[in-house]
Amino acid sequence: MNYSVIVPVVAIIFALSIPLLAIWTDYKKDRALIEKGLYEPEKPEKSGPRWHGTFLWGLILTLVAVALMVESAQIPGLAFQPGPVLLAVGIALLVYSFVVKLEKPSK
């Protein structure tokens, strides 16, 4: 019998079953608390300003796009240049983050 196929299959099955078991037990625990009336949903932590994530991704994409455009300028005849596409997405995210930052919070 060839064990070289069985060992990886068993390892993959066990590796995938551990997260599923954790999700299932958490689900069962939540259902039991709901039935007893003791369930309190977790409140998300405030991680900072609302615009912070889009500003970070906009800055990253813009700088990567500029680097790609500088690099692709040295390669003649390149069919597709991803630099301008990433630059447009990065600038759009930066503009969105500034608009959200300037937006007055509604209370």
Within 13 A of 39's CA, how many CA atoms are on the CB side?
Answer: 13
pLDDT value at 1 more than 70: no
Computed on alpha carbons and rounded to an integer, the radius of gyration of the chain in Å comes to 25
Q: What is the pLDDT of residues 10-25, one digit of tens each?
A: 999 999 999 999 999 9
Between 81 and 39, residue with greater pLDDT: 39
Tell me, what's the pLDDT at 100? 79
Q: What is the pLDDT of residues 50-94, one digit of tens each?
A: 667 788 888 888 888 888 888 777 777 766 777 788 888 889 888
Q: What is the 3-state secondary structure (H, E, C) of the chain?
A: CCHHHHHHHHHHHHHHHHHHHHHHHHHHHHHHHHHHCCCCCCCCCCCCCCCHHHHHHHHHHHHHHHHHHHHHCCCCCCCCCHHHHHHHHHHHHHHHHHHHHHCCCCC
Tell me, what's the pLDDT at 28? 96
Tell me, what's the pLDDT at 57? 84
